Amino acid sequence: MRTRQGLLEIFSTFLQFQTDAFGGWVTDPKLRRSMQTCLQHSQDEYEVFWVLYWYRIWQAQTSALATAHLTAYLQEVCYWTARKLTLKLTGNHSIADFFQTAIARTDKVLKNFNPQLSSSLKSYAELVLGGVIKDWVQKQQEAGICTDWSLLHRTSQKRLVEALQFAGEGRETIERYVLAWNSFKELYAPGATQTASKLRQPDNSAWQAIAQTYKAERLTQLSISSPIASPELLEKWLLTCAKAVRAFLYPTQVSIYTPILGQETGELLDRLPGSIQDSLLSEAIAQEEAEIREDQNTQVNQILTQALTQLGVEAQTVLQNYYQQGLTQQQIACQLGVKQYTVSRQISRLKQTLLLTLAQWSQKTLHISLTSQVLDSMSNALEEWLTAHYCSP
Amino acid sequence: MSSNATLDRFYLEIPATAQETQVAFSTSGASWRARLNQMSLNAFLPWLQEEQAAKVWPSIAALPSFWEIVDGTAIDCEDMRLVLIPTIEIDLRELRVPQEWIDIPSWSADYYLAVQVNPDAGWIRIWGYTTHHQLKTKGVYDDGDRTYCLDEDDLIQDLNVLWIARQLCPEEPLRAEVLQAPALLRPQAENLLERLGNSTVTFPRLAVPFQLWAALIDHGGWRQRLYERRQGLSNSWSVPQWLQADISDLAAQLGWKAHTLLAQEMRSRAEQIGLSRQLVITGNPYELQVFPRGNPEERIWRFELHSLDGDRQVPAGFKLRLLTEDLQPFSHNEDTAIEAVDRLYVDVILEPGEGLVWEIEPIPEGYDRAILNF
């Protein structure tokens, strides 16, 4: 892969695949113009400055333009994370699939990013997007071993509706399918000795019962009057649902601009209205921030390292086993001869101690006002820090 | 190396249970729901109890009557309530909480935990949590299946945050306001039980307006009766039957025992067959006794509360109260300890088949309203 050169390119181009390999950088003309205008106003050459700049704007207005610039910025880290994981995870995976899966979730990165506590947007994105990909692979594998009937049990209503919409079904059809699906789930579930993934096709009497329930419930649960459905028709509907859900599991091969088009406005402005942009540029707040942030990062590092040493030898061994050796909680439990939940409890207690330290320090020193959401993003930053701390040589 | 950490957090093994008691449910979906809830509880509760005093609400014995009709399991943990909402969904796009857990004041909780269950692999995972307040203010109400839905991105992912937030942001609102549904009269309840007790009604919780449904199942006695009817069982809460033959399994699980009670009065030293149940009130053990008095034709029954702790009396302020099945008071239905006393008691004359609900103040641990029939 050719690495991008210069701020203009870094904030306005998108990676293109040729089959499953790097195929070049494509410029988005609007993003390019927007970036050019910005660079005329400020000569700042630091990448960090522009990351914080766009992040601040994204935070203030969730602007489509800022999302697009940051998505462009994250292309490389996304590519490398995807590539690394195709090599690491067993199975035959495509870099392009991983990339698509991950880049579609840059919102997740931005939403929980905490510039005051994270070392950089890139390293944070690597952690989050890596998690997104692994999560996706795991879900694919789980869905892969399910029979259609199990898969229907293991699909959320939201997902089912999205899949049916994607398959082009209309609102009223979807409503009928959802009722059929709910009746199926309530009347035909795995028995005491059956596994959740190998549910077999309902037998005739089960289909009769489902048809009975559908017949009764359609009167109250459907918004427009619908005829009864035969057992055969219901079976057909449910197989259609299963097929739609399976098709929807794969990342849809859409334009690389998905995250931009995903914005409700659809229209991308070259220049933002409002004064945030101007004030940020003229006062060079972001520049100052970049420097402060660097200093804060050093401090975060210090207080967490200190908190870690205060935890005691036993605690540190557990964290080392977990983060450095990559042992699972079951493996650690085996080593120590205790129950898995005891290990889980212990790790969670240690993380609570560290999180509490970090939160209190942030409140006191950075004057961050704490809410559950803020604490949750701090917990991600802590995870990032622990991972880096135990993995760096 | 260690990147399993993010995925791995809050995984808990489902312990192998010694014996799975066979409980009947009206649909295979309800049995499945019960299994998933039971697995979540078996994995989560020991983990929680390592550090907190936590127990199932209202009691383990009452759980089937919940799972028959609705998904979710409540746990009282020190001064807060959690509700586990299990799912076997793979995609985890959103948390869906049945309206009952939000809008019935006595059921509602502070926190709702999203639990992914993988029965085949034998683990559960807490993939996020939220609060009553968030569900009410940020959640979307789906009137199709009467649930409050919250997108996965709006959940707090790390359960550690719950305990830290309680320390550092105590002012964060946990609950939103909910209104009590107007209570039902006995004929109304009887009508609903007749209709919804028929197991061919597949979704009883969606079959009548929510206010009526909520008022019905808010009453533990009616919720229990609904469960029994849906299994085709007759009313198992008959005190005379318990005394003559056997006490029902459920009543036994709740701690009711039939045995010979030593009548406490001075003038009659006669032994008396009666019922008793141990209760824990404000941390101390008490016993509630129910036994017939005098001639059987008189149909007089006594409800009596006394301490099980040798020297302790029933402290001032305690109340023992009897109500009709639909929670109406009647004359001389209550005994209050104005000062510490040896016992509280209420005598009532009952018609055959008549039902009564007992209440004690302060509320005993694990109290769930039940109807005793005579």
Tens-digit pLDDT profile for residues A232-245: 999 999 999 999 99
**pLDDT reading at A278 higher than 70:** no
Question: Is the Cβ–Cβ distance between B226 and B69 less than 8 Å?
Answer: yes
**Residue A153: its chain B contacts at CB < 8 A?**
88
Are residues A187 and A224 both part of a single domain? yes
> Does a structural domain hold residue A327?
yes
Q: Which residues contact A265 (CB under 8 A, 6 or more apart)?
A: A64
The answer to whether the Cβ–Cβ distance between B9 and A108 falls below 8 Å is: no
Least confident of A272-276, B57-61, B331-335: A272-276
pLDDT at B352: 86
Count of positions (residues) in chain B:
374
Q: What's the pLDDT band for B266 if we cut at 50, 70, 90?
A: very low
CA distance A354 to A359: 8
Closest CA to B23 of B184, B325, B228, B301: B228
Q: Are residues B156 and B17 in the same domain?
A: yes
Residue of B27, B43, B96 with shortest CB distance to A186 = B27
Cβ-Cβ contacts under 8 Å, B153 against chain A = 107-108, 111
**Looking at the domain assignment, is residue B180 inside a domain?**
no
Nearest CA in chain B to A202: B28
What is the C-alpha separation between A235 and A229, in angstroms, rounded?
A: 10
Please give the Cα distance from B303 to A218 (Å, whole number).
49
Chain B residue with minimal CA distance to A178? B144
Residues B1, A383: C-beta atoms closer than 8 Å: no
**Please, is B202 exposed, middle or buried when counting C-beta atoms within 10 Å of its C-beta (0-12, 13-18, 19+)?**
buried
B44 and B72 co-located in one domain:
yes
Asked if A355 and B161 count as a contact pair (C-beta separation under 8 A), the reply is yes
B205 within domain boundaries: yes
Residue B3 has pLDDT above 50, yes or no: no
The total of other beta-carbon atoms located within 10 Å of residue B322's CB is 21
Confirm whether B365 is domain-assigned: yes
CB-based contact A212 B20, cutoff 8 Å: no
pLDDT given at position B2: 33
- Which of A127, A154, A359 is opposite residue B168, by nearest beta carbon? A359
Residue A253: inside a domain: no
The pLDDT value given to residue A266: 43
Using a CB-CB cut-off of 8 Å, the residues of chain A touching B169 are 370-372, 375
Higher pLDDT, B97 or A103: B97
Is B229 among the domain residues?
no
- The answer to whether the CB of A209 falls within 8 A of the CB of A187 is yes
Across the interface, whether the CB atoms of A323 and B29 are under 8 A apart is answered: no
Per-residue three-class SS string for B69-94:
CCCCEEEEECCEEEEEEEECCCCCCE
User: Average pLDDT of B188-198?
Assistant: 96
How far apart are alpha carbons A158 and B277 in whole angstroms?
47
Residue B120 to residue A328, Cβ atoms within 8 A: no
Same domain, B219 and B283: no
Contact list, B168 vs chain A (CB under 8 Å): 356, 359-360, 363, 370, 375
User: What's the whole-number mean pLDDT along residues A195-199?
Assistant: 87
The answer to whether residues B193 and B81 belong to one domain is: no
Q: Quick one: which H or E segment has residue B359? A: strand B355-361
Give the pLDDT confidence score for residue B11 in this predicted structure: 83
Does position A271 have pLDDT exceeding 50, yes or no?
Answer: no
pLDDT (tens digit, 9 = 90+) per residue, A311-352?
888 888 888 888 888 788 888 888 888 888 888 888 888 999
Pairing of strands B319-324, B284-293: unpaired
Section A140-151 average pLDDT: 92
- What pLDDT is stored for residue A270 in this prediction? 46
In the structure, how many helices (H) and strands (E) does chain A have?
20, 2
pLDDT in tens, A290-299: 677 777 888 8
- Say if A273 falls within a structural domain: no
Q: How far is CA B168 from CA A159, B81, B164, in A?
A: 36, 19, 6
Phi-psi category of B142—alpha, beta or left, where left has phi over 0 and alpha has psi -120 to 50?
A: beta
Q: Of A95, A118, A143, which residue sits at a domain end?
A: A143
Q: Read off the pLDDT of residues A146-175 as tens digits, 9 standing for 90 and up.
A: 999 999 999 999 999 999 999 999 999 999
Instruction: Find out whether A378 and A362 touch, Cβ atoms under 8 Å.
Output: yes
B200 and B68 assigned to the same domain: no
pLDDT of residue A269: 47
Q: Nearest C-alpha of chain A: how many angstroms from B182?
A: 24
Residues of A in contact with B120 (CB under 8 A): 195-197
Residues B139 and B90 in one domain: yes
Residue B230 domain-assigned (yes or no): no
Q: How far is A154 from chain B (nearest CA, A)?
A: 4
Q: Output DSSP code: residue B338.
A: S
CB-nearest partner of A189 from B32, B153, B163: B32
Q: Is residue B218 in a domain?
A: yes
DSSP state, residue B364: P
Sort out which chain B residues have CB atoms less than 8 A from A375's CB and list them: 156, 158, 161, 164-165, 168-169
Reported as a pLDDT band with limits 50, 70 and 90, residue B74 is very high
The residue count for chain A: 393
Whether residues B265 and B193 share a domain: the answer is no
Residue keyed to tokens 């559960």 = B124
With CB atoms and an 8 Å threshold, state whether B92 touches A156. yes
B144-171 pLDDT per residue, tens: 899 999 999 899 999 999 999 999 999 9
Domain boundary among B168, B199, B215: B168
A392 pLDDT higher than 80: no
Say yes or no: A79 and A10 in one domain. Answer: yes
Closest residue of B to A362, CA-based? B168
The CATH number covering residue A28 comes to 1.20.120
Q: Distances in Å between the alpha carbon of B245 and those of B102, B354, B357?
A: 41, 19, 22
Mark yes or no for CB contact A344/B89 under 8 Å. no
Residue B21 has pLDDT above 70, yes or no: no
Residues B162, B39 share a domain:
yes
Same domain, B32 and B153: yes
Residue A161 and residue B94 in contact, taking contact as beta carbons nearer than 8 Å: no
- Identify whether residues A13 and A56 lie together within a single domain: yes
Q: How confident is the model at residue B298 (pLDDT cuts 50, 70, 90)?
A: confident
C-alpha–C-alpha distance, residues A264 and A273, integer Å: 17
Quote the CA–CA distance of A55 and A48 in Å, as a whole number. 10
Inter-chain residue contact B32 with A220, CB threshold 8 Å: no
Asked if the structure places residue A135 within a domain, the reply is yes
| Shortest distance, CA A195 to any CA of chain B (angstroms) | 6
Cα angle vertex B129, ends A143, B101, to 5°? Answer: 100
Residue B1 has pLDDT above 70, yes or no: no
Same domain for B67 and B93, yes or no, is yes
Q: Is residue A265 situated within a structural domain?
A: no
Q: Is pLDDT at B221 greater than 70 in this prediction?
A: yes
pLDDT at A220 exceeding the cut of 50: yes
Of A143, A160, A179, the residue that ends a domain is A143
Same domain, A137 and A153: no
Q: What percent of chain B has pLDDT over 90?
A: 71
| Residue at a domain's end among A143, A159, A179 | A143
- Are A138 and A155 in the same domain? no
Picking from A113, A154, A157 by the largest number of B CB atoms within 10 A of its own CB, the best residue to mutate is A157
Q: Is A183 in Cβ contact with B13 (below 8 Å)?
A: no
Q: Which residue among A159, A195, A376 sits closest to B157, beta carbon to beta carbon?
A: A376
A86 domain residue, yes or no: yes
Residue B19: per-residue pLDDT: 54
Question: Would you say residue B173 lies in a domain?
Answer: no
The alpha-carbon gap from A52 to the nearest alpha carbon of chain B, in Å, equals 23
What's the pLDDT band for B269 if we cut at 50, 70, 90?
A: low
Q: Rounded to an integer, what is the distance from CA A313 to the centroid of its chain? A: 35
- The DSSP secondary-structure symbol of B235 reads P
A391–B2 C-beta distance less than 8 A? yes
Residue B6 confidence class, pLDDT cut points 50, 70, 90:
very low
Is the CB of A134 less than 8 angstroms away from the CB of B156? no
Give the strand order in the sheet containing B54-57. B11-13, B123-131, B111-118, B80-87, B73-77, B54-57
Q: Does residue A337 sit in the same domain as residue A369?
A: yes
Distance to chain B for A138, nearest Cα, Å: 9
Is A27 part of a structural domain of the chain? yes
Residue B249 has pLDDT above 90, yes or no: no
Q: What is the pLDDT of residue A255?
A: 40
Question: In angstroms, rounded to a whole number, what is the distance separating the alpha carbons of residues A182 and B147?
Answer: 14
- Give domain status of residue B181, yes or no: no
B202 and B274 fall within a common domain? no
Q: Based on the structure, what is the number of domains in chain A?
A: 3
pLDDT at A391 over 90: no
Q: Nearest residue of B to residue A320 by CA position?
A: B2
Residues of the domain holding B198: 186-223
Chain A: give the shortest CA distance to residue B251, in Å.
Answer: 26
CA distance B72 to B148: 13
* Nearest-angstrom CA–CA distance, A151 and A240: 12
How many domains does the structure of chain B reveal?
3
Q: Do A373 and B46 touch (CB under 8 A)?
A: no
Least confident of A355-369, A378-392, B261-275, B357-371: B261-275
Average pLDDT over residues A271-282: 54
Q: What average pLDDT does the structure give for chain B? A: 90
**B145 and B68 in one domain?**
yes
Q: Indicate the residue of A187, A213, A386 with minimum beta-carbon distance to B28.
A: A187
Which of A141-150, A262-271, A294-303 has the weakest average pLDDT?
A262-271
Is A55 domain-assigned?
Answer: yes
Same-domain pairing of A118 and A158:
no
Lowest mean per-residue pLDDT among A80-84, A133-137, B7-11: B7-11
Closest CA to A67 of A241, A266, A288, A217: A266
Question: What is the residue range of A114's domain?
Answer: 1-143
Give chain B positions within 8 Å (CB) of A102.
none
Please indicate, yes or no, whether residues A168 and A224 belong to a single structural domain of this protein.
Answer: yes
- A192 and A242 share a domain? yes
Q: Given an 8 Å threshold on Cβ–Cβ distance, is B145 in contact with A216?
A: no
Please state, in angstroms and rounded to a whole number, the distance separating the CA atoms of residues B171 and B165: 9
Could you tell me how far CA B292 lies from the centroid of its own chain?
Answer: 28
C-alpha distances in Å from residue B154, one per residue of A156, A253, B66: 16, 27, 27
Separation in Å, CA of B200 to nearest CA in chain A: 8
pTM of structure: 0.90
Same domain as A222, residue A118: no
Distance separating alpha carbons of residues B111 and A182, to the nearest angstrom: 26
- Give chain B positions within 8 Å (CB) of A108: 153
Q: Is B28's CB within 8 Å of A342's CB?
A: no
Q: What is the mean pLDDT of residues A14-28?
A: 89
